[in-house]
């Protein structure tokens, strides 16, 4: 990878999968071929169309030869008109075959790209949270759009042109052989030179193309990050700062991108020079052959025309090298993603359970890879229907514990059992259908409110959605909106207030009706009325479920059957509110000075 100035925007190496693997040509081709194979029949028809087009194209100089050598010397006007008619007919047929060929290629290319996007998206969905925490989302979008598009460009343009040029080249050489075999041998003798020139550039272009793609992907990732953090940028008045950083990065990308194009152009210039030198030689030697050895003028003219039939493909190949390498590096970036294995793997014969809701943590340890574990020797037995409040200072492991329960991550050691079965043995999908998470800041999709609630149960009727909204205390505000349930919520739900977003998320969870519920209580300031509304809707949601609440409010904590106090990944205290207060440990210290205030709704932000 080329050296770069690693400003924050441009840092690439820390994102593992942003740096694509380089695959051996055979492997890359074999895997690419798998995507193209289903369309082989269409491609075969395209090839037939191509053959006819090239055949007609290449016959045109022969028609000219006939005109010069036969029709004109004979002063036969009918023959001249006949030649013109044949020419016209040939070009019409050529047009039709070329159109058919292009259409079939566009279609097969588009279909192959459709399949690649589908496969990649499906695979990305299987990858787990750890992957998404490492990756920047915009960089993934970049792969799905731009890297795939470079393959599309290859199939629809290069694929056709390569076949076209190769056929044209064969045809031109064959006819040239018949016209003057000595001159043809001379031309063919220069072919290794073309090969040497392109080979010497190819490796550099390949390396540079990978580098440029990584830079573009990192740039997309950083841009995405800035736009999703635009509130922070604006609230800190950092627009200028971000602009300067952005300019620094695009400056950093300027020369690598420029160099890539210049190198391609330089290769083309060398090839062009070689072609022109050869052309000059042919003019001299061919001219001498006409003068001294009786080569016909028509044959000489046709020969020089076919010589361009030889140069054309050579120059096209050189231009295509860039398109091909661009597609290959794009494809390798896609393969790198496709070869990223999910960190959480499903058991061979996963167990499908209808949950009752018992959860046992048995000496669970979990580490993110650092020296200190995030969860250490954690044991807890939770009965169905029990409400557990998790309390503890920030960084004590509450969210990590919940990501073990949702199986975003697997325990490092120990065991986490649900209804007596090791979580790792359960069918992942059916388990997730029975567990719901309501977060502090719930993400809503940019559709309507109805679509967002329906996300909890796609087959739900309108009535069920209304009922869920009513139970979540969301019906009133939804009905006051101009378009009711059809109102759009904006990207991430920005058009709703924090409290409204949360109630929509609760409605979504109510509709899903899970057996296990995880609720990350809001610490952000909600007005008292919103808090009470959310509290009431939560009470409804919690009925009959095993509930974990990352709790901040005393009202919630008091409602819990048990309070688990965590510190540095361990349970330090466990009990109900009064017991814990009496113990005068961490809980009572947390409770008295600040976080937990006596009454719900009276808490400051
Ligand atoms: P809490 O939810 O109690 O605030 P967390 O579970 O978020 O605590 O964090 C527990 C510990 O794990 C902290 O030391 C935190 O820095 C670390 N941690 C949390 N998430 C990650 C992550 N994705 N990668 C690495 N370390 C993490």
Q: What is the DSSP track for 475-494?
A: HHHHHHSTTGGG-B--TBTT
Pair (459, 332) in one structural domain: no
CA distance 254 to 248: 10
Please answer whether residues 457 and 450 qualify as being in contact, where contact means their C-beta atoms are separated by less than 8 angstroms.
no
In the chain, the largest separation of any two C-alpha atoms, in whole Å, equals 121
Distance between start and end Cα atoms, the chain: 48
Sort strands 375-382 and 516-520 into parallel, antiparallel or unpaired.
Answer: unpaired
How many domains does the structure of the chain reveal?
Answer: 2
Q: Measured in angstroms, how far is the CA atom of residue 99 from the centroid of ligand 1? A: 59
* Residue whose entry in the numeric block shows the structure tokens 């808490």: 603
Report the nearest atom of ligand 1 relative to the CA of 394: 4
Choice from 133, 366, 368 to test ligand 1 binding pocket (greatest atom count within 8 A of CB): 368
Using CA atoms, how far residue 276 sits from 128, 186, 187, 272, 346, in Å, is 57, 14, 12, 6, 63
Asked, for residue 460, whether it belongs to a domain, the answer is yes
CA distance 241 to 185: 64
What lies within 8 Å, CB to CB, of 130 at 6+ separation is 343, 408, 409
Q: Whose CA is nearest to atom 26 of ligand 1?
A: 368
Q: Measured in angstroms, how far is the CA atom of residue 393 from the centroid of ligand 1? A: 12
Q: Whose CA is nearest to atom 13 of ligand 1?
A: 395
CATH number of the domain that 195 lies in? 1.20.1560.10
The model carries a pTM of 0.72
Pair (64, 180) in one structural domain: yes
Using CA atoms, how far residue 402 sits from 129, 376, 407, 430, 516, in Å, is 13, 14, 8, 18, 11
Instruction: Please give the radius of gyration of the chain, using alpha carbons only, rounded to the nearest integer.
Output: 35
CA distance 64 to 47: 26
Pair (324, 456) in one structural domain: no
Q: In the chain, which stretches have pLDDT less than 70?
A: 1-19, 522-530, 592-605
pLDDT at 516: 93
Token representation of residue 49: 């169309």
Pair (283, 146) in one structural domain: yes
CA distance 417 to 351: 13
Smallest CA-to-CA distance from 448 within 504, 509, 514 is with 504
- DSSP structural state of residue 299: H
Q: Measured in angstroms, how far is the CA atom of residue 537 from the centroid of ligand 1? A: 29
Pair (91, 218) in one structural domain: yes
Using CA atoms, how far residue 221 sits from 44, 68, 148, 227, in Å, is 40, 63, 17, 10
Tell me, rounded to whole angstroms, the distance of Cα 123 from its chain centroid. 10
Pair (305, 183) in one structural domain: yes
Asked, for residue 292, whether it belongs to a domain, the answer is yes
Angle at the Cα of 383 (from 379 to 385), degrees rounded to 5? 135
Asked, for residue 603, whether it belongs to a domain, the answer is no
Query: Domain range for residue 189?
Result: 16-338
Q: Whose CA is nearest to atom 24 of ligand 1?
A: 368
Q: Measured in angstroms, how far is the CA atom of residue 19 from the centroid of ligand 1? A: 26
Tell me, rounded to whole angstroms, the distance of Cα 240 from its chain centroid. 30
Q: Measured in angstroms, how far is the CA atom of residue 397 from the centroid of ligand 1? A: 6
Task: Give the end of a domain, one of 459, 491, 513.
Answer: 513
Smallest CA-to-CA distance from 426 within 345, 543, 308 is with 345
Report the nearest atom of ligand 1 relative to the CA of 569: 10
Task: Give the end of a domain, one of 307, 338, 369.
Answer: 338
Choice from 367, 399, 551 to test ligand 1 binding pocket (greatest atom count within 8 A of CB): 399
CATH number of the domain that 482 lies in? 3.40.50.300
pLDDT at 18: 55
Smallest CA-to-CA distance from 304 within 68, 51, 87, 56 is with 68
Token representation of residue 474: 């969301």
pLDDT at 605: 28
pLDDT at 578: 84
CA distance 167 to 310: 10
pLDDT at 199: 87
* Residue whose entry in the numeric block shows the structure tokens 């998206």: 121
Q: Measured in angstroms, how far is the CA atom of residue 14 from the centroid of ligand 1? A: 19
Pair (319, 457) in one structural domain: no
Q: Measured in angstroms, how far is the CA atom of residue 30 from the centroid of ligand 1? A: 42
Q: Whose CA is nearest to atom 5 of ligand 1?
A: 397
Report the nearest atom of ligand 1 relative to the CA of 392: 3
Residues framing ligand 1 (Cβ under 6 A): 133, 368, 374, 392, 394-400
- DSSP structural state of residue 10: G
Using CA atoms, how far residue 110 sits from 102, 104, 115, in Å, is 12, 10, 9
Helix (H) or strand (E) holding 301: helix 297-338
Asked, for residue 525, whether it belongs to a domain, the answer is no
Token representation of residue 478: 């939804």
Sign of CA dihedral 24, 27, 31, 33: positive
CA distance 417 to 381: 9
| C-beta contacts of 61-64 below 8 A and 24+ residues apart | 61/175, 61/301, 61/302, 61/305, 61/306, 61/309, 62/175, 62/302, 63/87, 63/90, 64/298, 64/301, 64/302, 64/305
Q: Whose CA is nearest to atom 1 of ligand 1?
A: 395
What lies within 8 Å, CB to CB, of 348 at 6+ separation is none
pLDDT at 602: 35
Smallest CA-to-CA distance from 22 within 148, 289, 210 is with 210
Pair (314, 460) in one structural domain: no
Task: Give the end of a domain, one of 321, 338, 355.
Answer: 338
Pair (80, 226) in one structural domain: yes
Q: Around 40, how many Cα atoms within 13 Å sit in the side-chain half-sphere?
A: 6
Q: Whose CA is nearest to atom 19 of ligand 1?
A: 400
Using CA atoms, how far residue 249 sits from 1, 19, 40, 262, in Å, is 16, 17, 43, 20
* Residue whose entry in the numeric block shows the structure tokens 């915009």: 138
Report the nearest atom of ligand 1 relative to the CA of 393: 3
Asked, for residue 150, whether it belongs to a domain, the answer is yes
pLDDT at 509: 87
Asked, for residue 500, whether it belongs to a domain, the answer is yes
Sign of CA dihedral 377, 378, 380, 384: negative
Pair (316, 449) in one structural domain: no
What lies within 8 Å, CB to CB, of 44 at 6+ separation is none
Asked, for residue 574, whether it belongs to a domain, the answer is no
Asked, for residue 295, whether it belongs to a domain, the answer is yes
| C-beta contacts of 344-352 below 8 A and 24+ residues apart | 344/128, 344/407, 344/408, 344/409, 344/410, 344/428, 346/427, 346/428, 347/424, 347/425, 347/426, 350/425, 350/426, 350/427, 350/428, 351/421, 351/425, 351/426, 351/427, 352/426, 352/427, 352/430
pLDDT at 9: 42
């Amino acid at each position: 990878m080329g050296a770069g100035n690693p400003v924050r925007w441009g840092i690439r190496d820390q994102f593992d999968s942003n740096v694509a693997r380089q695959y051996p040509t055979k492997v890359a081709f074999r895997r690419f071929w798998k995507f193209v194979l289903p369309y082989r029949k269409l491609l075969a028809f395209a090839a037939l169309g191509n053959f006819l087009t090239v055949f007609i194209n290449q016959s045109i100089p022969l028609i000219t030869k006939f005109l010069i050598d036969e029709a004109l010397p004979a002063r036969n006007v009918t023959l001249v008109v006949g030649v013109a008619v044949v020419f016209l007919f040939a070009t019409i047929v050529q047009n039709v075959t070329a159109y058919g060929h292009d259409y079939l290629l566009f279609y097969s290319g588009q279909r192959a790209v459709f399949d690649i996007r589908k496969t990649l998206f499906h695979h990305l969905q299987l990858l787990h949270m750890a992957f998404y925490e490492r990756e920047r989302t915009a960089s993934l979008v970049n792969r799905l759009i731009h890297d795939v598009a470079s393959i599309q460009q290859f199939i629809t343009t290069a694929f056709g042109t390569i076949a076209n040029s190769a056929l044209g080249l064969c045809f031109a050489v064959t006819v040239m052989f018949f016209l003057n075999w000595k001159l043809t041998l001379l031309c063919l003798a220069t072919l290794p030179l073309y090969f040497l020139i392109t080979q010497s550039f190819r490796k550099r272009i390949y390396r540079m193309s990978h580098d440029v793609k990584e830079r573009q992907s990192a740039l997309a990732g950083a841009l995405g990050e800035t736009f999703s953090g635009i509130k922070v940028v604006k609230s800190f008045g950092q627009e200028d700062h971000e602009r300067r950083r952005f300019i620094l990065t695009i400056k950093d990308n300027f020369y690598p991108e420029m160099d890539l194009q210049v190198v391609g152009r330089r290769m083309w210039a060398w090839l062009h020079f070689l072609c022109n030198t050869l052309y000059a030689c042919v003019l001299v030697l061919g001219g001498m052959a006409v003068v001294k050895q009786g080569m016909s003028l028509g044959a000489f003219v046709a020969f020089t025309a076919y010589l361009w039939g030889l140069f054309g493909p050579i120059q096209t190949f050189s231009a295509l090298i860039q398109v091909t390498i661009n597609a290959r590096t794009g494809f390798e970036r896609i393969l790198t993603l496709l070869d990223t294995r999910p960190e959480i793997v499903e058991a061979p014969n996963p167990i499908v359970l209808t949950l009752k809701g018992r959860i046992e943590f048995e000496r669970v340890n979990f580490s993110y890879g650092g020296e200190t574990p995030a969860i250490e020797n954690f044991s807890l037995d939770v009965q169905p229907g029990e409400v557990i409040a998790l309390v503890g200072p920030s960084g004590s492991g509450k969210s990590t514990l919940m990501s073990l329960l949702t199986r975003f991550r697997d325990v490092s050691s120990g065991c986490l059992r649900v209804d007596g079965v090791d979580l790792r043995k359960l069918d992942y999908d059916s388990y997730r259908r029975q567990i719901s998470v309501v977060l502090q800041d719930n993400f809503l999709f940019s559709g309507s409110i109805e679509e967002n609630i329906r996300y909890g149960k796609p087959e739900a009727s309108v009535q069920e959605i209304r009922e869920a909204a009513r139970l979540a205390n969301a019906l009133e505000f939804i009905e006051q909106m101009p378009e009711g349930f059809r109102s759009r919520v904006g990207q991430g739900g920005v058009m709703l207030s924090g409290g409204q977003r949360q109630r929509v998320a609760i409605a979504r969870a109510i509709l899903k009706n899970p057996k296990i519920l995880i609720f990350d209580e809001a610490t952000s300031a909600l007005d008292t009325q919103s808090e009470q509304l959310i509290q009431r809707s939560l009470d409804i949601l919690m009925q009959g479920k095993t509930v974990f609440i990352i709790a901040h409010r005393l009202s919630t904590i008091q409602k819990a059957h048990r309070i688990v106090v965590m510190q540095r990944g361990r349970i330090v205290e466990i009990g109900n509110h009064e017991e814990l207060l009496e113990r005068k440990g961490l809980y009572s210290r947390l409770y008295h000075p600040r976080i937990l205030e006596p009454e719900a709704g009276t808490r400051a932000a």
